[in-house]
Chains A and B, each alone.
Chain A
Amino acid sequence: MTTEGPARGGLEFTPRPGAAPFLRQVAAQASMEARLMLRNGEQLLLAVVIPVIVLVGCVLGAHRVGIDFRNPAVDVFTPGVLALAVMSTAFTSLAIMTGFERRYGVLKRLGSSPLPRSGLLAGKVVALLAIETLQVLVISLVAFGLGWDPAPEPLGAVLAIVLGTAAFASLGLFVAGVLRAEATLAAANLVYLLLMAGGAVVLPARAYGAFGDVVRWLPSGALGDAMRDALIDGRTTLLDLAVLLGWAVVGTVLTARTFTWE
């Protein structure tokens, strides 16, 4: 039954099954997801362009209207814009991407490959962290250009980014798991806009007056305030980090209970 010759082109199908080492699978998955996210125009807009516009707009705008903070405007807004960037990637981009992966059968297809579910999740996390690193780099460069002079507490900032990523990513997966792809797209963008405007990400929670006591318990407010504390005052605020951890636990439980792969 075997036809030898040029038609076969040297292909041998003799079985030699086996899964690639776990870390190599995770690396492949992470690089694939990161590339796809960066290739997508809307995602790139969300990841880099909007945060940079917000940063430049707020800094210039603060000069014009003469809002007076204790610190220079760029020092106040940059940590918040970094928080916004984390939120856009870990929540909105991840939810949209995962929603369409379910819709197009990508998760189902990968479900029959040697990549275990833990590997898929790890790949997503690594991709998120890689994109966030890129975002932090770009936004920091722009901020330095605007005269940013941080007093950083690196551990506090890194912890805030990691816990914020965990909180938003678990909530994003929850949304992607329960809604259809189009509804996920709409909901993830809407939540992003609402939190950007009223979630104490870019502006400190205390700028919202009495409402600030509510929004500081949102993941957006906790992440924004944790970043500001770490980069303006050089402090690590355990309460904000605990709030983020709490949201990560809630999101993970919700996702684990509801997520379906198809």
Chain B
Amino acid sequence: MRYGDKVAVDELSLTVERDTITAVLGPNGAGKTTTLETCEGYRKPQRGTVRVLGLDPVRDRADLLPRIGVMLQGGGAWSGVRAMEMLRHVAKLHAHPLDVDLLAERLGLGDCGRTPYRRLSGGQQQRLGLAMAVVGRPEIVFVDEPTAGMDPQARRTTWELLKELRGDGVTVVLTTHYMDEAERLADRIHIIDHGRLVASGTPLELTRGGTTATIRLVVTRPFPPGSPDSLRVALGAGTEVTQLDERSLLVTGPADASTLARVSRWCEENDVLPESLTLGQRNLEDVFLKLTGRELAP
């Protein structure tokens, strides 16, 4: 997919299994929305093939649309329409819609049913968007950044709903730049960056990383120049050192006490005072950083 000269998504190949939650994870501008909108038939790829439920999203659009639910990243309603009126309208376009009152209640929209769309909070608009995506009882829902701008309570409600969808046999494809969202919800995660797939796997597969462990070293003052290299030499073969920011380093290597001891000794020799030294399993954030060399959070 290109927009003018800019390649938004390139050589991206991924498959989504039925009845699962799949997360497409990446930083802003990674090509997540473009990927989703290509599946939804909004954009026609210049090259390559997209099949959703075996259908071509552009050519077979009329057959596909009733079977999918789409939550856009924002907007999608008249500014003067009341929340429930909008939901009822979308429900009427489908043959066997969910009970709109129950659905609204479930998503905490019961109190703002008569509120015009423009006066809904960002989180309420998001939840209404999600309700519109699922009300037609689709086989697949595509949700673009479903919890962006939601308060923690609404986020949990949304996560629960997405899990219930999967439990009832709906396939969920979501984009997110929140690590915890992908880690907690998804059966499978595809990490993309600059429009390319950089890693795929279950959260466990992505974070396990074999027998290696990570040590996150945070110090009180900025590291002296050349620190990552000198620490790598001190630790010997089989370890990797990545600088996270000016006061923290990530060591990936054998999970044993001697690695920890060597890190401490290196600190002493280089006159840096550790503020914290955390030994642990890699988390997705580390995986992402290692794969792309940049932080995920916007």
A residues sitting closer than 8 Å to B (CB atoms) are 1-3, 7-21, 24-25, 28-29, 32, 36, 39-40, 100-101, 104-106, 108-109, 111-116
A11 touches B103 (CB 8 A): yes
Residue of B41, B65, B80, B103 near A39 (CB, 8 A) is B80
Indicate whether A9 sits within 8 Å of B102 (C-beta atoms), given known contacts A40-B80, A114-B93, A114-B136.
yes
- Give min CB distance, A188 to chain B, whole Å: 17
- Give min CB distance, A160 to chain B, whole Å: 31
Q: Tell me which residues across on chain B come within 8 A of A40, comparing CB atoms.
A: 80
Q: Tell me which residues across on chain B come within 8 A of A1, comparing CB atoms.
A: 163-164, 166-167
- Give min CB distance, A234 to chain B, whole Å: 42
Most chain A CB neighbours (cut-off 10 Å) among B68, B160, B164, B170: B164
A105 touches B95 (CB 8 A): no
Query: What 9 A-B pairs are tightest by C-beta distance, nearest first?
Result: A18-B95, A105-B75, A109-B76, A2-B167, A13-B168, A112-B70, A28-B92, A19-B66, A114-B66
B79 touches A19 (CB 8 A): no
Q: Tell me which residues across on chain B come within 8 A of A3, comparing CB atoms.
A: 160, 164
B70 touches A13 (CB 8 A): no
Chain B contact patch, size range: 35 or more
> Chain A contact residues: over half helix, strand or loop, or mixed?
loop
Q: Which residue of chain A has its CB nearest to the CB of B166?
A: A1
Cα A154 to Cα B95 in complex, Å, equals 39
Cα A9 to Cα B40 in complex, Å, equals 30
Q: Mark B59-88, 1 if CB is under 8 A from A, else 0.
A: 000100111101010111111110001000
Residue of A11, A25, A101 near B92 (CB, 8 A) is A25
Cα A9 to Cα B99 in complex, Å, equals 11
Cα A29 to Cα B89 in complex, Å, equals 8
CB of B137 within 8 Å of the partner chain: yes
B94 touches A114 (CB 8 A): yes
Q: Tell me which residues across on chain A come within 8 A of B167, comparing CB atoms.
A: 1-2
Q: Tell me which residues across on chain B come within 8 A of A114, comparing CB atoms.
A: 65-66, 93-94, 136
Q: Mark B100-130, 1 if CB is under 8 A from A, else 0.
A: 0011011000000000000000000000000
A104 touches B105 (CB 8 A): no
B137 touches A16 (CB 8 A): yes
B94 touches A100 (CB 8 A): no
Cα A36 to Cα B163 in complex, Å, equals 35
Q: Tell me which residues across on chain A come within 8 A of B42, comparing CB atoms.
A: 108, 111-112
- Give min CB distance, A146 to chain B, whole Å: 34
Q: Tell me which residues across on chain A come within 8 A of B65, comparing CB atoms.
A: 19, 112-114
Residue of B40, B74, B136 near A17 (CB, 8 A) is B136
Given A1-B166, A8-B164, A106-B77, 16 additional A-B pairs, CB 8 A? A11-B98, A15-B139, A16-B95, A18-B94, A18-B96, A21-B95, A24-B92, A28-B93, A32-B81, A40-B80, A104-B79, A105-B74, A106-B75, A112-B41, A112-B65, A113-B65
Residue of A2, A24, A25, A39 near B164 (CB, 8 A) is A2
- Give min CB distance, B117 to chain A, whole Å: 8
- Give min CB distance, B142 to chain A, whole Å: 9
CB of B132 within 8 Å of the partner chain: yes
Cα A39 to Cα B41 in complex, Å, equals 33
